[in-house]
Chain A
Amino acid sequence: MASLLVLLLVGLAALAEPCLIRRIDYRGPFRLLPPGAKARVEQAVPIRPGSPWLETGRGALAVAIRDALAGMGEEPALSAVSLGATPCDNGQTDLTIYLFTTRLLAGSPRWRIDPRLRFDRGDGMVGGGALQLQPSPFLGLRIEGAGGAGFLDRAIAAAGSSMGFAYAAGLRHRDEPLGDERLRSGYGYGWVSGRAAGLRYGLQFEQGYQLAERYRAAKALLGYSAAGFTGALGVQYGDATAGAYRKTVFDASYARNLRLADHRFVSLDWRVNGGWLPAAAAPSGERFFGGMRDRRFSEIPGIELRAAPRLRSFGSNRFQLAAAGHERFLASNLTVGLTAWRMPLLPREVSSAPDFAGQIEAGKGTIAATLESYHEGKDPVMKNIEPLAQELSPLLKPLLDHPDELCAESADRLDGALAKAIENRIFGSLPRTVPDCGSQPPIEAILAQIHHQLTRVDRKSIEQRAHQDARLALRAIDILTRELNLFAIEPIFVYDHAAAHNRRGSLSRASVGGGLRFSIASTLGFEIGYAFTANSNPGESAGALFLALRITDLFR
């Protein structure tokens, strides 16, 4: 680890009589933060009423307050601090410390609550949520429940992770409307998932019942996500009362925020999914029923895989031919939103500070260069340079006491740099740190060898690895400074199309509609709107109200 401090200005402390702090006023959403947060912030402030308000160290004070809430969670987090002071009046000043942090939205690593609320004509108004208790990474408990007049879903599971794998085992029971009938299902399950080469994979085993039919099944899933794109494939092999069956589903989506202006953008969500169920032996609940509600293929989180067509102008399970479900389907969903009103999350004192945008851009350049420097230190060539650098140190020792001060200082500078270079495997700056002591052939020869070795470094590979690391960090900075809104209201436009088929025929319908989305911290969105069926037949749903809470990826 390298730690350094660059100081190009050394100021002298003010000699004048210091102003004393009369009052410190803390402002910020402390009530929403976990217990003890305000105490942690107060402890981080080394000044009290009566303390002198010094002209120096104010930046360090802001950093200490900013960092007081570090380590409270692992979610992406933004913290911002602003220090305000009144002009010194009668030797006294009032200090205001404002702190904002997204930690208040992150919950806790030990527990988490995900609320649920939605409405559709099939299920009615459905409310509920999921509580996740995670006292240890290896084992936790998840309890889910959602219900309404026509729908009930409840589940309990033990889940954890170890050695790079996530796992869970649990029970689920669901009672939902299916046309004029009810579809009751329940199963016990166990799953394990992992990651490799950017892919996520998982296996789930389950056994249970659907209506009166008993079944057992194994599901294999493969998923990929990057830069707003997700793709997933799932295959299920099952065995039911009537025999064996196989089901295949795929799902691909693309989500992107296209920035129009400061903290205003067009949000785009597009999704295509489909499924095949060729065997007649499958339990009726395995068939594809479409409508408003998402139906997940498995219990495995992190692999987005819908197992039914979604049409927002139909109630849940109402997009079907003669209450029989479908054997194959292809569906597409588009949601487009436009920021109409927003309150940026970054405090105005910060975003409107002169030079802030320029400093952010310069900071991004430095981050990219720092990561390149770090990965250069991992190149195998550095192993060849290390012994050369170690040979240099004894050659410098006689120069450290040289009567020429310039020579002694430059030799001492190179000697110190050598230790840091060996510690961090950074040798790029050594060839240009030649001691200013006239001709020193042995030293110059070694520096020339170091320079030669540096030309053998695999630059392309270093740049690729640095770019891969920097991408997320730089994207996060852009989101922080240009996109993240504390609150926003967006008009939305929706378009769905689904085509499904069973042995009785085919069904193809399109939904068009619109509504409003209210979002908090650009992640938690509440949508309400109405979708019409563009080509409905008599007796079918002509349209439906939709209402839902949705959580979107901040880094889309």
Chain B
Amino acid sequence: MPTGSRHEVVALSVKLEVLTQDKLKKFIFGLTKSKEEDIVKWAMDFAMLDRTGPSTAFAEVLKLDVALDLKKIPVEAVEVTATKGLNKSQVNYARTVIAADADKLRAGRIKAERMQRTAAGLINARNG
């Protein structure tokens, strides 16, 4: 570990990979904290991979990256999401509505303000 009082930890990340007993599925879980422009951000990534036999190559069947700064959304429902994580309705919303707009944002077809409006719908999606 970095030692000495002069160093400040500005980012950290942990990753866990685990295989099922039959070696046919693999789960990858990651958690990352970073301090950028004096704002602390947490990001989570999760992926599931599977394969047909123990000696064949894995293929990714599910991947979710979530980077949330929930403190920026003044909604009481945020608290439940912050403590319990996303529920299935929110994951469905993220894997369809947000994923589609994120692709458009990357391609320059929509502006960041539209992306923010779409992403803000994630909190209300909890009750969907």
Contacts and interface: CB of A to CB of B under 8 A. Distances in A.
Contacts of A369: 85-88, 90-91
Given A82-B1, A417-B97, A77 B115 contact: no
Given A86-B6, A416-B104, A356 B33 contact: yes
Contacts of A96: 2, 7
Interface of A: 1-11, 14, 25, 27, 55-59, 61-63, 65-67, 70, 74-87, 94, 96, 98, 137-138, 161-164, 195, 225, 346-350, 353-356, 358-374, 376, 409, 413-414, 416-417, 419-421, 424, 426, 428-430, 432-433, 469, 472-473, 476-477, 480
A419 B103 CA distance: 12
A148 B68 CA distance: 60
A428 B44 contact: no
Nearest to A480: B16
Nearest to A371: B48
B63 to A, nearest CB: 5
B77 interface: no
A409 B118 CA distance: 10
Contacts of A420: 95-97, 99-100
A75 B97 CA distance: 36
A6 B95 contact: no
A59 B44 contact: no
B96 A421 contact: yes
Contacts of B66: 6, 366
Contacts of A5: 65, 67, 98-99, 102
A15 B2 CA distance: 29
Interface in B1-35: 1-2, 6-23, 25-27, 29-35
Nearest to B113: A10
Nearest to B85: A365
B7 A84 contact: yes
Contacts of A87: 6, 8
Contact of B31 (A65, A349, A359): A359
B25 A62 contact: no
Nearest to A61: B11
20 contacts: A6-B65, A6-B119, A6-B122, A8-B120, A58-B36, A59-B41, A62-B32, A74-B23, A78-B15, A84-B8, A366-B85, A367-B85, A373-B92, A409-B114, A417-B100, A424-B95, A428-B128, A429-B92, A429-B96, A429-B128
A14 B37 contact: yes
Nearest to A162: B55
A429 B97 contact: yes
Nearest to B41: A59
B96 A85 contact: no
Which 6 A-B pairs have CB atoms at the shortest separation, nearest pair first? A365-B85, A416-B100, A59-B34, A137-B55, A84-B2, A4-B99
B121 to A, nearest CB: 8
B96 A365 contact: no
Contacts of B64: 2, 4, 366, 370
B94 to A, nearest CB: 6
A82 B107 CA distance: 32
A360 B85 CA distance: 9
A353 B64 CA distance: 23
B46 A362 contact: no
A468 B120 CA distance: 31
Nearest to B42: A359
B125 A432 contact: yes
